[in-house]
């Protein structure tokens, strides 16, 4: 049976979602800065924003009118993207229309299954759920468990897939061909050609983070290129 796509997700179709995140300890890690980044992204045409942490999400919700994918990172390894139901509930309460949660088949810290987590989120908050998958098998399972959309977010970060240089187009194409829920390309989309390739591979929408909003990384890329050019 084909599932109908929620209007909030339809608003993201064929568009660019900009992820506005800074890592712990970085100078840009404060809600005001992230909200300014989000507003700038919307001026540039972003159809959605992805943001981290209840403080950032709440302020961004006040400042921009496009749908927001919210998450809460706890640590940086294992199940760290919105790891428990309680984290997800808080993200929804902060104003995210879509909550991104770890969408892998790994055990979750609160002992709930992915299906139980999604069912409770739907039942208790009404929020939409994006499952951040690490492999095609994760994505298929997450859709079966009731996820409203699936992202390639965790490919290359869970040990199941080797990190590709650029987005994992193979995983994206496999999921886009198999699922009746939107498949969102996310992770290592660093160039305009990467973005075009994601569209060709069947992405419903794209999330770009680092290449638009993480100035330290972008500086490092340019610096490396200059030094590489000088050395050769
Ligand atoms: C693996 C993980 O922790 N991904 C996080 C998920 O929200 C973010 O750190 C990424 O910036 C985001 O997925 C966008 O990807 P990229 O920054 O590569 O465009």
How would DSSP label each residue in 36-91?
A: HHHHHHHHTT-SEEEEESHHHHHHHHHH--S-EEEE-B-SSSSS-BS-SHHHHHHH
Residue 179 belongs to some domain of the structure: yes
Question: Residue 91 falls within a domain, yes or no?
Answer: yes
- Domain range for 201 is 7-231
Give pLDDT tens digits along the chain (232 positions): 578 999 999 999 999 999 999 999 999 999 999 999 999 999 999 999 999 999 999 999 999 999 999 999 999 999 999 999 999 999 999 999 999 999 999 999 999 999 999 999 999 999 999 999 999 999 999 999 999 999 999 999 999 999 999 999 999 999 999 999 999 999 999 999 999 999 999 999 999 999 999 999 999 999 999 998 765 4
Indicate whether residue 21 lines ligand 1 (CB < 6 A): yes
Indicate the number of domains in the chain: 1
ipTM of the complex: 0.99
- Asked if residue 1 is part of any domain, the answer here is no
In a domain, 68, yes or no: yes
Kindly report the CATH number assigned to the domain that includes residue 190. Answer: 3.20.20.70
| 2, part of any domain | no
Q: Give distance in angstroms: CA of 44 to centre of ligand 1.
A: 20
- Residue 71 belongs to a domain: yes
Tokens 């992405």 map to which residue? Answer: 203
Give 230 Cα–ligand 1 centroid separation in angstroms: 30
Q: Which residue's C-alpha comes closest to atom 1 of ligand 1? A: 154
């Amino acid at each position: 049976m084909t599932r109908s796509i929620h209007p909030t997700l339809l608003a993201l179709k064929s568009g660019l979602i900009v992820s506005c995140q800074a890592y712990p300890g970085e100078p840009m890690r404060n809600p005001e800065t992230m909200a300014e980044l989000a507003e700038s992204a919307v001026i540039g045409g972003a159809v959605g924003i992805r943001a981290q942490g209840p403080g950032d999400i709440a302020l961004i919700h006040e400042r921009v009118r496009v749908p927001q994918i919210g998450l809460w990172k706890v640590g940086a390894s294992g199940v760290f993207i919105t790891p428990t139901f309680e984290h997800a509930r808080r993200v929804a309460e902060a104003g995210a229309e879509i909550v991104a949660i770890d969408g892998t088949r790994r055990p979750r810290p609160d002992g709930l299954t992915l299906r139980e987590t999604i069912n409770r989120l739907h039942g208790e908050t009404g929020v939409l759920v994006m499952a951040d998958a690490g492999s095609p098998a994760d994505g298929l399972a997450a859709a079966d468990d009731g996820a409203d959309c699936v992202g390639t977010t965790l490919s290359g970060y869970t040990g199941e897939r080797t990190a590709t240089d650029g987005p994992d187009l193979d995983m994206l194409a496999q999921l886009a061909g198999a699922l009746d829920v939107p498949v969102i390309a996310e992770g290592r989309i660093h160039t305009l050609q990467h973005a075009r390739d994601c569209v060709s591979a069947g992405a419903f929408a794209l999330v770009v983070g680092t290449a638009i909003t993480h100035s330290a990384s972008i500086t490092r890329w340019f610096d490396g290129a200059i030094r590489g050019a000088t050395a050769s």
